[in-house]
């Protein structure tokens, strides 16, 4: 048999094999391109960068300044994913903007090696030049003349009251004393985009949340504007506008007004706002399929883990108090609905861990990862980042450590993760 004949036989044998390999390579590339296109951020890390982000002003690592460490009615959504972890209170809603910090990106993954994070510990900070203490007694900055009739309450004494509904570190306070006892016929409109509360002093010198209830007479009021939330710190212009609105309310009620000094308030509120921006992080992990999974199968699996579909188009796992603990979103931020889940397929989904809202970060992050692993096994999904890189055990350990450190920062200033103050500040 000639050499040419042998070569021809070899070509005929190996050609189909090479063809299969090339076809598989093409299919793999097509799959990767499709998933990357669905994520919309294929050049960023999902867990520690583009999907682990400060929710301030909706910025992510793509457009926010990188720091040494690493998104309201309806809570405003940041770019990509932000679960609606908000608690309803007797407050008006808030919107404003502020910068934030983010995690640095993880080190590039080596070939055939799971991606590893590069998380930098914050440099040792010098002792802070501020302290989170009660704002000094406010100085009169805007008052209404009491004319010849004496006020029922002394405004400066009123400013010394420590009331459980307000925190002078982030509530900008206005004090109003009346000349005559009056009913509150209607709640005033004191802010169009920030939350506020009104406490009233009744005729027996007791304070309560003020409500327009017939036959309940008040001697005065304390009004607190929540100046810090996930949209950042209120501007001086906003505080001045609130002062003007409070003054108009005092005039309508025929009383005198005392406002907290703005500079004094901001000297305490600014460092607290900086801390809130630093710790306000949402962690997302993606579970993706090489093909598709049916919506019915997806829903059955997550509901077996305790998640429930909410009206906002996301699945939530609630704590024993009925408050959201973990969330599940679509990969492209579209809403889950019963109709869509029963009729269409999905590439996968994202699990969200909203760090300031979840108590006991280490314990609950372990639970979060356990659920992710179970769902991955049940549905045959891969745990990946935006680059389709597998998440390593070491990476997840570093993220857990980061969550614990940020929550420790919150506790140092008296903000318990998942507690009432956290619900207010991170809303």
Query: Which residue is listed with tokens 């939330």?
Result: 229
Q: Radius of gyration (Cα) for the chain, nearest Å?
A: 28
CA dist., res. 130 & res. 105, Å (int) = 31
Residue 277 in contact with residue 101, Cβ under 8 Å?
yes
User: 301 and 403 share a domain?
Assistant: yes
Q: Quick one: what percent of the chain has pLDDT higher than 90? A: 56
CATH code of the domain covering residue 192? 3.30.1400
Position 13 confidence tier, pLDDT thresholds 50, 70, 90: confident
Structural domain boundaries, residue 318: 280-426
Domain termination site, one of 247, 275, 303: 275
Q: What is the pLDDT of residue 23?
A: 67
The answer to whether residue 126 is domain-embedded is: no
Polymer length of the chain: 427
Predicted TM-score (pTM) of this structure:
0.66
DSSP 8-state code for residue 115: B
Closest to 316 (Cα-Cα) out of 266, 275, 368, 359: 368
pLDDT tens profile 246-257: 999 999 999 999
Q: Work out the angle at residue 273's Cα, subtended by the Cα atoms of residues 272 and 278, and round it to the nearest 5 degrees.
A: 100
Residue 53 lies in a domain: no
CATH number at residue 295: 3.30.1400.10
DSSP of 373-409, one letter per residue? HHHHHHHT-EEE-TT-PBBPHHHHHHHHHHHHHHHHH
Answer yes or no: is pLDDT of 376 > 90.
yes
| Same domain? 172 vs 213 | yes
Q: Is 323 found in the same domain as 196?
A: no
pLDDT tens digits, one per residue of 217-229: 999 999 999 999 9
Specify if 25 maps to a domain: no
Q: Where are the alpha helices (DSSP H) in 253-360?
A: 262-279, 295-304, 338-341
Same-domain status, 252 and 332: no
Instruction: Show which of 275, 310, 341 is a domain's final residue.
Output: 275
Same domain, 379 and 420: yes
Same domain? 362 vs 317: yes
209 and 199 Cβ atoms separated by less than 8 Å: yes
Of 220, 249, 275, which residue constitutes the final position of a domain?
275
Judge if 181 and 213 occupy the same domain: yes
Query: Per residue in 380-419, pLDDT tens?
Result: 999 987 677 888 888 889 999 999 999 999 999 999 999 9
List Cβ neighbours of 34 (8 Å cut-off, separation of 6 or more): 347
Same domain, 245 and 358: no
Instruction: For residue 184, tell me if it sits in a domain.
Output: yes
**310 and 353: one domain?**
yes
**Residue 232 Rama label (left phi>0; alpha psi -120 to 50; beta):** left
Asked whether residue 290 falls in the same domain as residue 418, the answer is: yes
Quote the number of domains for the chain.
2
Give Cα 163 distance to the centre of its chain: 27
């Amino acid at each position: 048999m000639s050499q040419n004949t042998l070569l021809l036989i070899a070509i005929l044998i190996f050609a189909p094999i090479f063809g299969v390999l090339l076809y598989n390579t093409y299919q793999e590339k097509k799959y990767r391109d499709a998933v990357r296109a669905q994520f919309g951020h294929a050049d960023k890390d999902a867990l520690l960068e583009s999907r682990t982000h400060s929710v301030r002003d909706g910025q992510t690592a793509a457009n926010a300044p990188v720091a040494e460490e690493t998104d309201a009615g309806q809570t405003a959504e940041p770019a990509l994913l932000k679960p609606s972890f908000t608690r309803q209170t007797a407050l008006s809603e808030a919107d404003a903007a502020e910068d934030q910090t983010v995690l640095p990106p993880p080190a590039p993954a080596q070939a055939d090696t799971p991606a590893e994070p590069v998380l930098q510990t914050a440099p040792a900070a010098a002792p802070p030049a501020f302290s989170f203490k009660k704002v000094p007694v406010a100085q009169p900055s805007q008052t209404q003349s009491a004319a010849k009739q004496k006020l029922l309450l002394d405004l400066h004494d009123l400013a010394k009251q420590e009331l459980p509904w307000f925190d002078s570190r982030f509530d900008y306070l206005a004090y109003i004393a009346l000349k005559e006892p009056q009913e509150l016929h209607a709640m005033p409109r004191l802010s169009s985009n920030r939350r506020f509360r009104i406490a009233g002093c009744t005729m027996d010198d007791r304070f309560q949340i003020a409500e327009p209830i017939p036959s309940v007479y008040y001697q005065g009021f304390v009004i607190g504007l929540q100046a810090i939330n996930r949209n950042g710190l209120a501007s001086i212009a906003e505080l001045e506008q609130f002062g003007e609105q409070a003054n108009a309310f005092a005039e309508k009620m025929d009383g005198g007004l005392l406002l907290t000094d703005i500079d004094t308030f901001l000297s305490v509120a600014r460092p607290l706002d900086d801390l809130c921006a630093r710790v306000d992080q949402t962690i997302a992990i993606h579970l993706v399929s090489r093909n598709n999974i049916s919506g019915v199968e997806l829903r059955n699996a997550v509901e077996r883990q305790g998640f429930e579909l909410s009206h906002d188009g996301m699945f939530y796992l609630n704590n024993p108090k009925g408050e959201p603990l973990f969330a599940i979103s679509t990969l492209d931020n579209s809403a889950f609905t019963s109709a869509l889940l029963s009729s269409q397929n999905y590439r996968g989904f994202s699990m969200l861990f909203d760090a300031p809202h979840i108590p006991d970060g280490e314990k609950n992050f372990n639970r979060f990862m356990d659920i992710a692993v179970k769902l991955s096994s049940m549905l045959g999904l891969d745990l990946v980042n935006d680059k389709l890189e597998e998440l390593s055990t070491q990476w997840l350990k570093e993220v857990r450590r980061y969550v614990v450190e940020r929550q420790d920062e919150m506790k140092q200033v008296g903000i318990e993760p998942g507690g009432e103050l956290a619900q207010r500040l991170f809303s």
